[in-house]
Amino acid sequence: MIKLRSMLKRYEGNPLFDPEDFPFCDAEQIFNPGQVGLPDGRTILLLSVIPRNEKYARCHVAESTDGIHFTIHPEPLFKVDEKKPFGTLDYLPIDCRVTYFAEDKCCYIMRPANSQWGCCALLYRTVDFQTADPIEVIALPHNRVPCLFPEKIGGEYVRLDRPYSLSAPYEKSYANLWISRSPDLIHWGEYRPLLQRGAMPWNELKVGPTVPIKTEKGWLEIIHGVHNIFVGMRYSLGAILLDLENPEKIIGKMNRYLLTPETDYELGGIISNTVVFATGAIADLQSRELRTYYGGGDTYINLATGNLDEIIDGCLKGI
């Protein structure tokens, strides 16, 4: 029997989404969902779906009032369409990062655009998840993908980036975390390095961001890291804590991972033995529960929960 060593507890009903059960196409993969908790109590997931018998991926909205049972919208929010804005840049609508921004009363979606031009980053705005309005291309290749803080800091929008060199070997890819600022969400600058890959033993090859979560003690940032193992590259989840007023400053960092592939639905997907991956997490500041909806083996969507204070404490203590 596998011994589970994670600080996150896997939901006993995992996987929440299995490709065989997807109702709107013959799905081969459903993975790496965008996620956000809305003020009205709904949980929204953006499901990245790759069909078996279609040329391109698509992204469907799923919504829930309890965080477990979801209704999937039949029409995709994102699909490949060369006639739409950015259409010739965008052939793989996956890996969405979703930020609810209270000041602007909307959600911003940052996601990668994959094409022969490389992997750039797109920004969209939505108020209802029925449609998403394109704003602009906000990062040059290769950047997969920026994550927006849920409020302005020092009067500016702030985001986390993970630029990297796609053609270089992993050990020379410079896949590190940076932080940047903008007056208007379109023009970005004031770039500063934040976290270098290899800062923990399980992210020696790459490190990547999710949407930051504001807590009383700092910005909780769930990260993914990539480590070279015998059967391939293993993707795990971890956490760091950033200063509330100056998020360029890391005030806490867990050295162990929060979650790593261990169960059948994490080890047996299209990308087998090596991948758990999340683009965000949702915190309940009253119950102190942290939920993350994550991809297993780039095939299934699963749920894991943890205690917010335990994870923050782990960051501050460096466990």
Q: Averaged over 127-139, what is the pLDDT?
A: 97
pLDDT tens, position by position, 241-280: 999 999 999 999 999 999 999 999 999 888 877 899 999 9
- Percent residues over pLDDT 90 in the chain: 83
Q: Tokens representing 226?
A: 């990539």
**pLDDT value of position 17:** 98
In this structure, how many other beta carbons lie within 10 angstroms of the beta carbon of residue 306? 22
Q: Averaged over 222-246, what is the pLDDT?
A: 91
In this structure, how many other beta carbons lie within 10 angstroms of the beta carbon of residue 160? 27
**pLDDT value of position 3:** 45
Whether pLDDT at 180 is above 70: yes
Torsion of CA 112, 127, 241, 296, to 10 degrees: -50
Distance between CA atoms of 151 and 144, rounded to whole angstroms?
21
- Percent residues over pLDDT 70 in the chain: 97
Per-residue confidence at 303, pLDDT binned at 50, 70, 90? very high
CA distances from 28 to 23, 47, 76, 279 (A): 12, 13, 16, 20
Per-residue confidence at 2, pLDDT binned at 50, 70, 90? very low
Q: Tokens representing 149?
A: 């803080």
In this structure, how many other beta carbons lie within 10 angstroms of the beta carbon of residue 238? 26
Distance between CA atoms of 176 and 302, rounded to whole angstroms?
26
pLDDT tens, position by position, 48-91: 999 998 999 999 999 999 999 999 999 999 999 999 999 999 89
Beta bridge partners of residue 261, listed in sequence order: none
**pLDDT value of position 246:** 98
Distance between CA atoms of 176 and 161, rounded to whole angstroms?
8
Whether pLDDT at 1 is above 70: no
Distance between CA atoms of 80 and 16, rounded to whole angstroms?
26
Give the H/E segment covering residue 315: helix 308-317
Q: Averaged over 132-154, what is the pLDDT?
A: 95
**pLDDT value of position 5:** 61
DSSP states along 143-188: B---EE-SS-BTTBEEEEE-B--SSS-GGGS---EEEEEESSSSS-
pLDDT tens, position by position, 18-31: 999 999 999 999 99
57 by Cβ neighbours in 10 Å (0-12 / 13-18 / 19+) ranks as buried
**pLDDT value of position 117:** 92
**pLDDT value of position 272:** 75
Q: Tokens representing 33?
A: 């969902």
Q: Averaged over 130-143, what is the pLDDT?
A: 95
Enter the pTM of the model: 0.96
Q: Averaged over 32-40, what is the pLDDT?
A: 97
Give all domains of the chain, ordered by start, each with its CATH number.
14-317 (2.115.10.20)
Whether pLDDT at 172 is above 90: no
- Mean pLDDT over each residue of the chain, to the nearest integer: 93
